[in-house]
Amino acid sequence: MTCANAPSACWSTADRIAVEFFHAVTDGTGGLIFLKTLVAEYLCQKYKINIPAENGVLGRLEDPDPEELEDSFLRYAGDITASRAEQTAYHMSGTPEPDGFLNLTTLMLPVPAVKEKAKGIRRQRDRVHCRRHDEGHQRPAE
């Protein structure tokens, strides 16, 4: 099965673990719990480090809670009265790879440079806000 047809995918390199989920499989919280549990199991098997089943790490040998097996959408969503019709979806353009391969672009940035850029943007935003604020208030005549 290729990644394009799988509801989830997991792979690793020398210094990275990555997981992907089809949006109907889980939300971000469930994905993070899976990743934490996966890393805990890796540390246990590779380095004999036991990570307790807490703080978002599940015990692989424990039976799942009944809530974990429940599809609770209808219980929490209530009556659906609004139309569920979707707007036209955005379709990406480009030439598909012949084998269905999906290209992934990643970006690695040095954190100090990103923080400095963010501070500059924040200062610029604050100056614009101050100018707008000053324009709305006239100074008293001296």
Joined together, the tokens standing for residue 110 give: 């040095």
pLDDT along the chain (142 residues), means of 10: 65 85 84 91 91 90 85 76 72 80 80 85 67 52 52
Residue of 1, 18, 20 whose CA lies nearest to 9: 20
**What pLDDT shows up at residue 1?**
38
Joined together, the tokens standing for residue 89 give: 């979806």
**What pLDDT shows up at residue 87?**
73
In order, the DSSP letters of 119-136 are HHHHHHHHHHHHHHHHHT
Distance CA 19, CA 33 (A): 11
**What pLDDT shows up at residue 54?**
92
**pTM (global) more than 0.75:** no
* β-sheet bridge partners, residue 128: none
**What pLDDT shows up at residue 24?**
79
- Mention every residue, 6+ apart, whose C-beta is less than 8 A from residue 11: 17, 18
Q: Would you give the distance in Å from CA 111 to the centre of its chain?
A: 19
Distance CA 45, CA 43 (A): 6
Distance CA 18, CA 12 (A): 6
